[in-house]
Amino acid sequence: MRAGMSYFHETIWKGVPKFLRRVDTALKNLGIDERVPYNAPLIQFSSWMGGDRDGNPRVTPEVTRDVCLLARMMAANLYFSQIEDLMFELSMWRCNDELRARADEIHSSSKKDAKHYIEFWKRIPPNEPYRVILGGVRDKLYNTRERARQLLANGVSDIPEDSTFTNVDQFLEPLELCYRSLCSCGDRSIADGSLLDFLRQVSTFGLSLVRLDIRQESDKHTDVMDAITKHLDIGSYREWSEEHRQEWLLSELRGKRPLFGQDLPKTEEIADVLDTFNVIAELPSDNFGAYIISMATSPSDVLAVELLQRECRVQNPLRVVPLFEKLADLEAAPAAVARLFSIDWYRNRINGKQEVMIGYSDSGKDAGRLSAAWQLYKAQEELVKVAKQFGIKLTMFHGRGGTVGRGGGPTHLAILSQPPDTIHGSLRVTVQGEVIEQSFGEEHLCFRTLQRFTAATLEHGMHPPVSPKPEWRALMDEMAVIATQEYRSIVFQQPRFVEYFRLATPELEYGRMNIGSRPSKRKPSGGIESLRAIPWIFAWTQTRFHLPVWLGFGAAFKHVIEKDVKNLNMLQEMYNRWPFFRVTIDLVEMVFAKGDPRIAALYDKLLVSEELWSFGEKLRTNYEETKRLLLKVAGHKEVLEGDPYLRQRLRLRDSYTTTLNVCQAYTLKRIRDPNFHVNVRPHLSKEYVESTNKPTAELVTLNPLSEYAPGLEDTLILTMKGVAAGMQNTG
């Protein structure tokens, strides 16, 4: 969380007001003499760092509480560091009557001098009314920061809550008063300077810097409900039908009686879920965003969370967002959401707004990229229809990863390829940890990222993409079935696939290292289905084989082209005229430009047992066949023909990445087979060694805590990071 928040400190905090000024200028250039209203922020930020407990035992209720308090303290500190600059600037005496009356009131009641400020620590004279008002804001910010610091350190604070800001409206009110006064006195140009930037920061970041989203797996809520119903002697919630569950949950939601007390028997996991709700109830509601239910399948998943919020006395309940991930769940999502909207209690609760999250990573892992992309497209269309039918404003939350296999790709193209009517001027999207640096690592990157999201969202609304023709849909449906069959027949039904995967890639070593933010599996004993999407994609990316991205495409293309040669012309028409299909194909083509089956063959030869070599050879033949068919559909003679700039960049880095791959393959061999010897030593130039006058061994510091032979873990981590960087997009 500290690492993630550093991006707010370094780039986002100042980047947002700068970007909004650019939007103001763009409006002015169009002849619109209006600014973006500061109280209608174009962009808002939420975070999962410290709130996403889906399969992560390290995210405890205590961590969630500390993360919220830390973010609150950081926000107050950022405002506090800027408020005196604002006071320095607003030295004028001319103001309106409203501000004058407030300044006189504050001045007459102000206490002794406070020495813990850098500037203006002596009593501010009454003929500087703006400074008097802002001095009161500064005092409250100081108390807000110190109270959060004390709560974080000791769990208690001697600073009374009423001397701090408890909600953002309290904070905005004196600033708005200053803004109105400046405008009414003819000082609009001053009001639209640093004060407007400050107002925009307050509206965007609030008192909590970022709102924390909570995420938990639906099964955990089922466990809690099961424990409650058993304790009440009314049966096992887990064994009830969906209809029975909904009926019981609604009867409880409409009633008033508490469901359970302190005597509820709790396992460690049940206590963890309930303690999380207690933390939500304890902290200010503006700390939190949405409560996201991963692996959601049915309306009861949402109603269960609503009931648990009520039981744990959450005063301002979080909006509940179902996350549909697997192929079958995406297919069933529109019906589940329609059922929710048909419940009077639920419609009254959501006040005409609903958010639904769709998962790109797990759907791709479940069915392959082609089928997942098409099902995500269709699910969005259907969800929008359902929302229109019930008069609900629907916001789609796109759970995209950084890599193509996890739904990643260029932001602008990804948004423009969404179905028509699914982005009505608003969308939510994840910026994953593995790409946050390239999106927000520097101020100019932050600016470009905000620009892309805004431009694409506007463009999608003003020039919606074309809807697919019925015959295109029919062909996609047919191809998706074949692609899923091909993907699952290899990944889930091939008896020795898991064994091959673990031998041919660094998946096991990756899981043991402290690289990821959470365990690599949801269930330690499970196979591919329980493996998280990041290590699944990461492992294949390391060997330059990218299997989850392309597997299924070749079989689908081959099937429809052999069935009717006219289908090739239709596929080419789809590629040229349908943004969704074009983006899907272009991203896979880009992955082929980064792939190299010869590298994968080296990993096989060194690491895979001989009886499985033929399996790897078949997959590599499939890879080449898929690549050939993909180029045929795109009408290209070679990969990235349409993007020579990127092709050249990838060629330039290929020799470096290949060197790292070879080094990694031999390192893995030495880790797995201690008897295997190859002469590898750190390469240090003769001049460097002579200039240091130190023995070579002293020039390379190795990780002393590694469970492997000296240097092997260091080499593996460096090659993993290097290959991952080499596989990232450029330009």
Q: Which helix (H) or strand (E) holds 509?
A: helix 507-512
575 Cβ contact list (under 8 Å, min separation 6): 581, 582, 585, 633, 634, 635
562 Cβ contact list (under 8 Å, min separation 6): none
**How far is Cα 343 from Cα 302, in angstroms, rounded to an integer?**
12
What's the burial of 525, exposed, middle or buried (CB within 10 Å: 0-12/13-18/19+)? exposed
Which phi and psi angles does 5 have, rounded to 5°? -70, -20
Which residue in the block uniquely carries the two structure tokens 């003499």?
33
Of 33, 161, 56, the residue nearest 523 (C-alpha): 56
**How far is Cα 728 from Cα 432, in angstroms, rounded to an integer?**
14
The upper half-sphere exposure of residue 46, i.e. CA atoms within 13 Å in the direction of its Cβ, equals 20
For residue 387, what is the DSSP state?
H
Say which of 140, 220, 326, 365 is annotated catalytic. Answer: 365
Q: Which helix (H) or strand (E) holds 359?
A: strand 353-359
Buried b (16+ CB within 10 A) or exposed e, 409-432: bbbbebbbbbbebbbeeebbebbb
C-alpha dihedral (296, 299, 302, 305), degrees to nearest 10: -110
- Note whether 280 and 214 are within 8 A (CB): yes
- Note whether 41 and 198 are within 8 A (CB): no
Of 403, 415, 430, the residue nearest 580 (C-alpha): 415
692 Cβ contact list (under 8 Å, min separation 6): 699
The question of whether 365 is a catalytic residue gets the answer yes
Task: Give the residues across from 353 on adjacent strands.
Answer: 393
- Note whether 260 and 291 are within 8 A (CB): no
Which phi and psi angles does 426 have, rounded to 5°? -150, 140
- Note whether 533 and 406 are within 8 A (CB): yes
Of 327, 328, 272, 329, the residue nearest 296 (C-alpha): 329
User: Given strand 211-217, what is the order of strands in its sheet?
Assistant: 46-47, 211-217, 288-294, 319-324, 353-359, 393-399, 428-429
- Note whether 48 and 213 are within 8 A (CB): yes
**How far is Cα 162 from Cα 320, in angstroms, rounded to an integer?**
30
606 Cβ contact list (under 8 Å, min separation 6): 665, 666, 668, 669
For residue 321, the SS3 value is strand
683 Cβ contact list (under 8 Å, min separation 6): none
What's the burial of 83, exposed, middle or buried (CB within 10 Å: 0-12/13-18/19+)? buried
What's the burial of 353, exposed, middle or buried (CB within 10 Å: 0-12/13-18/19+)? exposed
Residues labelled as active-site residues: 365
